[in-house]
Structure 1
Amino acid sequence: MSAPVPSVPALFDLTGTLALVTGSSRGIGRALAEGLAGAGATVVLNGRDPDRLERTWSELAATWGADRVHAYAFDVTDEPAVEAAVARVRSEVGEVGVLVNNAGVQHRVPMVDLDAADWRRVIETDLTSAFLVGRAVARSMISRGRGKIVNVASVQSDLARPGIAPYTAAKGGLRNLTRAMAAEWAASGVQVNALAPGYLATEMTQALVDDEQFDAWVRGRTPAARWGTPADLVGPVVWLASAASDFVNGQTIFVDGGMTVVV
């Protein structure tokens, strides 16, 4: 006899789950952390700027309480710092049940003018950090036989535009890193998937939003005829973090208003 079908609210309930969201002191990461908290999770914020991180922690803790929101400032590209921070979270807060690898940077310059140092900085922040934090967290998930990892990719995982070569390479790599993680860890009860946002109006993209020509291109290129917002990612991340996605693994979910399905 098949198991009873759980209620829909229970499928998406994250009560009792600890979620670590990297790069969550602002922008997309903050929105994802707020969405997970709204679904019942206890969240661990992360950023490199201690002052900004403290402000974000204070604002979120005022809504959900200091017992539901925690903050750890560390550099996700620094291997010893990552290992130490994950160990501290485990001993001071609890085992991470959900990891959202969101930390990322952008660098816009023609490839022939691109410094190797800037290439490495983007690759390390947008791709290598997901490996470092993912590996550190996955060890415990594997031993416990359960866990969720969500890597924040991009439409640039599948598409390219001039001037953003390291970002495009990193996000393409992140899509395949997601597959590799799933291939190695799925049998241990860990689900690893990626979200690939389209063009979102955020602090990082404000200059593009304000550029009339680029704004018109985004609206014309996107079937939904608008920019996305960080709030558009909340439902998908809660789904991927919850029991509702227990048989979804290695997938990249495009949240792009249809951009990647048209020519």
Structure 2
Amino acid sequence: MNPFSLAGRRALVTGANTGIGQAIAWAMGRAGAEVVCAARGDCSETMAGLPNGRAVTLDLSDPLSASDLFKGEGIDILVNNAGTIHREDAIDVASDDWDRVIDLNLKSVYFTTQAFARERIAHGLGGAVVNIASLLSFQGGIRVPAYTASKHAVAGVTKALANEWAAKGLNVNAIAPGYIVTNNTAALRADADRSQSILDRIPAGRWGKADDIGEAAVFLSSPAAHYIHGVVLPVDGGWLAR
């Protein structure tokens, strides 16, 4: 038996229509999982790259929108990837912008995971949760106070839920992506000076690929990671080691 295989497993990935979420969905599909792509946007591109999967519309700007999503669905892997960011000087951030970031990046993660765990625990079943944290789960960042607060909290919630659910067969872990080539980082990569300053800090000497995150998510969801609980795993080319 391949301990890294997800054959026979069913995974739900939020924000699977693009970027890191799409790469995670494809990596899970390559590992043998049936993948449910959940997003408020069109997932047709992601679906085209999956050997076995389906798409559901899910708008997590309502943090409780996944409350009934897992009942009877046999989903045993949950990847909480959907998120947003708001860039503005801290002195100017409005309450509505703060709430929008916290609701999607933190509150929806908690209550989606709660709904997943209720279904698994009620039937005496194990499973895996992979939350997408950030380097700003460890650092402060600049002009993104709500995002930083949400990602620090995701790291904390990951550990808290692992403490409660590890003995019930649920693995709860997180990945903290480094600087990854996605649409969200296009402006940074287009700024030659900023891009070079980032590369100078990364021991691996390159920007990360979305597949780097996808493969890490497969590992944390696989039997190979059964004794890993409450970890926030940086996949950052060594950024935090500098």
Q: TM-score range by the shorter chain?
A: over 0.9
Q: What's the CA shift for 1:41?
A: 0.1
5 Å matches for 1:71-90?
Answer: 71-87=55-71, 90=72
Q: What's the CA shift for 1:224?
A: 1.4
- Matched residue, 1:121: 100
* Post-superposition CA distance 1:24-83 (Å, at most 9, x none): 01100000000000000000001112xx224432x135xx1xxx2111101124245211
Unaligned runs of 5+ in 2: none
Unaligned runs of 5+ in 1: 1-6
Q: Alpha carbons of 1:220 and 1:96: their partners in 2 closer, same or farther (altered >3 Å)? A: same
Instruction: Determine whether 1:221 maps to 2:205.
Output: no
2:40 to 24, 48, 59: 48
Q: How high is the sequence identity, in percent, across the aligned residues? A: 37
Amino acid of the structure 1 residue aligned with 2:54: H
2:175–2:217 Cα contact (<8 Å) kept: yes
Of structures 1 and 2, the one with the larger relative CO (CA 8 A, separation 6+) is: 2
Q: Alpha carbons of 1:216 and 1:195: their partners in 2 closer, same or farther (altered >3 Å)? A: same
1:25 to 3, 12, 17: 17
Give the number of equivalent residue pairs. Answer: 241
Which structure's residues are more often helix, by fraction?
Answer: 1
- Matched residue, 1:3: none
* Post-superposition CA distance 1:127-175 (Å, at most 9, x none): 1111011001011222323100000101110012211111111110000
2:111 to 102, 109, 132: 132
5 Å matches for 1:1-263?
Answer: 7=1, 10-49=2-41, 52-57=42-47, 59-61=48-50, 64=51, 68-87=52-71, 90=72, 94-143=73-122, 144-262=124-242
1:74–1:85 Cα contact (<8 Å) kept: no
Q: What's the CA shift for 1:19?
A: 0.2
Whole-Å Cα distance in 2 between the matches of residues 80 and 221 of structure 1?
Answer: 39
Amino acid of the structure 1 residue aligned with 2:119: S
Structure 1 consecutive aligned stretches of length 4 or more whose deviation exceeds 4 Å = none
Question: Which structure has the larger Rg over C-alpha atoms?
Answer: 1
Whole-Å Cα distance in 1 between the matches of residues 89 and 205 of structure 2?
Answer: 28
Q: What TM-score, normalized by structure 1, do the two folds share? A: 0.88
Amino acid of the structure 2 residue aligned with 1:229: K
2:106–2:151 Cα contact (<8 Å) kept: yes
Secondary structure of 2:172's counterpart equals strand
Q: What's the CA shift for 1:243?
A: 0.4
Whole-Å Cα distance in 2 between the matches of residues 40 and 201 of structure 1?
Answer: 25
Cα RMSD over matched residues?
A: 1.3
Q: What TM-score, normalized by structure 2, do the two folds share? A: 0.95
Secondary structure of 1:81's counterpart equals coil
Whole-Å Cα distance in 1 between the matches of residues 43 and 235 of structure 2?
Answer: 27
* Post-superposition CA distance 1:86-119 (Å, at most 9, x none): 33xx3xxx31110000001111111111111111
Whole-Å Cα distance in 2 between the matches of residues 22 and 261 of structure 1?
Answer: 29
Whole-Å Cα distance in 1 between the matches of residues 196 and 161 of structure 2?
Answer: 38
Q: What's the CA shift for 1:213?
A: 2.0
Whole-Å Cα distance in 1 between the matches of residues 45 and 231 of structure 2?
Answer: 34
Whole-Å Cα distance in 1 between the matches of residues 97 and 28 of structure 2?
Answer: 32
